Amino acid sequence: MVALAGAHARARRTGRAEELDRAALHGFIGLYGTAHPDVLACRSNLAVTLHDPGRYGESAELREDALRGFTGLLGEDHPDTVAVRGWRRVERDPEPQAS
């Protein structure tokens, strides 16, 4: 679902990308809570999706949350942290794991 959202975002189908990004985010929060790297990646990707059509308020808040989380978990120089800082999608295809 995360990869499919990215494909829609790259094709400028932001409505569908947003739907998929939100579904992935809510699903992963339900599985892992709010601080898991897959949740942070989904939060950041949704921020990028919303930023492109100019929904800056929500996108900035989502990005800042993801940036704080990735910086704390992975450090300043990790590729995921760098992607979030640069307003780029976090390119990963997380799969839910059984608890």
pLDDT of residue 63: 98
| Residue among 97, 84, 7 nearest 45 (CA) | 84
pLDDT of residue 93: 67
pLDDT band at 54 (very low <50, low <70, confident <90, very high): confident
Tokens of 24: 């992935």
Q: What is the pTM of this model?
A: 0.91
Contacts of 69 (CB under 8 A, 6+ apart): 35, 37, 39, 40, 43
